[in-house]
Amino acid sequence: MRRRIVLLAVIVVAFSGVAGAARDHRRPVDGGHGDGPSRRAGRVEVMTQNVYVGADIFRVFDAQTPEEVPVVVAGILQTVFDTDFPARAEALAEEVHRYRPHLIGLQEVSLLRVQSPGDFLIGNPQPAETVLFDYLDLLLAQLSDRGLHYRVAAVVENADVELPFLAGIEDGVPTFDDVRLTDRDVILARADVATSDELAANYAVNFQVPFGPGVIDFRRGLAAVDARIHGRAYRFANTHLEVASIVPEIQQAQTQELLAALADEELPVIVVGDFNSSPDDPFPSPYGQLAAAGFDDAWLRALGAPPRRNPEGFTCCQTETLDNPESQLSERIDLVWLRPGGSPSPRAPRVLVRAVVVGDRARDRTDAGLWPSDHAGLVVGTVLLRR
């Protein structure tokens, strides 16, 4: 998508001083204060971040026989422990503290529960309910510890999968527990942001795979709210689309459902998420579908020259174990999309103020050297006007 020329007069009058901020890649979008310059400019700051469950859950399909499944699941669970979300939550909270966005779209906000002894192998009559890790609670606690006041404005519950894992060997006999993963996408709103008209919906088209006597349904979904910031109202949506390499048609169908949910929206729309699609993907792809529907890729509308570090805006992906010493980000699939509201008018340009990739520097890692997530985040500060 070609970058459109923004009227120089609008930039000079409305955003004096922004160019200096654009040269400092680490300066917060709003100057580091909850309101400050962003209130004067009427700017809205948003963030998208895939927080990462902590392992490649699709490794479960590496099992060649049903008997191997508990062993493979145990290995996946061990990787989740090794990637240490409680520590990573601290690193993610530091990014939020640095930029203090009004709205945050989070993906892969996992809830992990266990049952001991497990009953999956006898039909799973009782789902696992003992909480092992609640990623949402852990992150909110870290935000609160930093004096940041965010609340859950919307949450959509996606895939909910329970499987057995090998818990140990007692007197030569293997013991099995169950682990249950519930995937969620979450919108967090800063305390001073009023929200309403919550939407939380799963897509009708999802990846399903036969597994044992049943089917694993990898549901994906959409969360959205109306948000009022500095007297202006926006529709803010957050999603995590299926991986194209599994079934591209599923990803495309989910994008069509997303667009249909926003088609009649009169407010300015901001859509964030992990789209599993980059500008390099051939049409039809989520990137091309959104662009064709009139959405602007925020990264391409950034004022000034791209940052010297990570100028391509890459956000994916670090290694599964997050301990790679050098960043391996090589794709731009975590995106912020903008669409003005109202009737078309060339006299009301859409102005992007700032776009910053976060969590992609060595100093952003945990004390143990883990990246905050396998994805970097993206923070965007924008004035999104009616057309």
The CATH number covering residue 158 comes to: 3.60.10.10
Q: What pLDDT is recorded for position 238? A: 98
Classify residue 88 as exposed, middle or buried by CB count within 10 Å of its CB (0-12, 13-18, 19+): buried
Taking the mean position of all CA atoms in its chain, how far away is CA 132? 22
- Percent with pLDDT over 90 in the chain: 70
Cα-based distances in Å from 237 to 98, 217, 274: 23, 23, 12
Is residue 32 a part of any domain in this protein? no
pLDDT of residue 26: 37
Model confidence pLDDT, tens digit, residues 61-88: 888 888 899 999 999 999 999 999 999 9
Q: Is residue 246 part of a domain?
A: yes
Query: Is the pLDDT reported for residue 17 higher than 50?
Result: no
Alpha carbon 313 to its chain centroid, in Å, reads 15
Answer whether residue 3 is part of any domain.
no
150: helix, strand or coil: strand
Q: How confident is the model at residue 124 (pLDDT cuts 50, 70, 90)?
A: confident
182 falls within a domain: yes
- Residue 258: its pLDDT value, please? 98
Residue 374 counted as domain residue: yes
Q: 312 lies in a domain? A: yes
Quote the domain boundaries for residue 86.
Answer: 8-27+37-383
**pLDDT averaged over every residue in the chain:** 86
Give the model confidence (pLDDT) of 280-297 as tens digits: 988 889 999 999 999 999
Q: Residue 73 domain-assigned?
A: yes
d(CA 340, CA 126) in angstroms, rounded, equals: 48
DSSP, res 344 = -
The number of folded domains in the chain is: 1
Lowest mean pLDDT among 11-20, 159-168, 193-202, 370-379: 11-20
Low-confidence winner among 27-31, 64-68, 122-126, 203-207 (lowest mean pLDDT): 27-31
Residue 1 lies in a domain: no
Closest alpha carbon to 349 in 360, 338, 363, 357:
338
Please answer whether residues 69 and 60 qualify as being in contact, where contact means their C-beta atoms are separated by less than 8 angstroms: yes
